[in-house]
Structure 1
Amino acid sequence: MPVKRVETCGEVAKLLHFLTTKEAVYITGATFDINGGLLMS
């Protein structure tokens, strides 16, 4: 769902922090588009 705004540095930092946790152990070779859904519309 597009949010129609640019993400903040804090939101990007939360993603990066999550990717360093044990919960993200099975996420490999993924690409995360950080664009607020602008490419979807």
Structure 2
Amino acid sequence: MFSRFIGTLKRLSKNKPHKGELSHENFQQEIFQIRQASE
């Protein structure tokens, strides 16, 4: 699960216009999806 989390972070930061900056909303959404998938 953790490696998936890292992959998600990398993918998200890649898609952001501001380099290395995560939108808080997107971040929360991804965390939620990962939690759902891991249960």
More helix as a share of residues:
2
Q: Which has the larger radius of gyration?
A: 1
Answer whether TM exceeds 0.5 for this pair.
no
Q: Relative contact order, CA 8 A, sep 6+: which one is greater?
A: 1
Give TM-score scaled by structure 2 length.
0.45
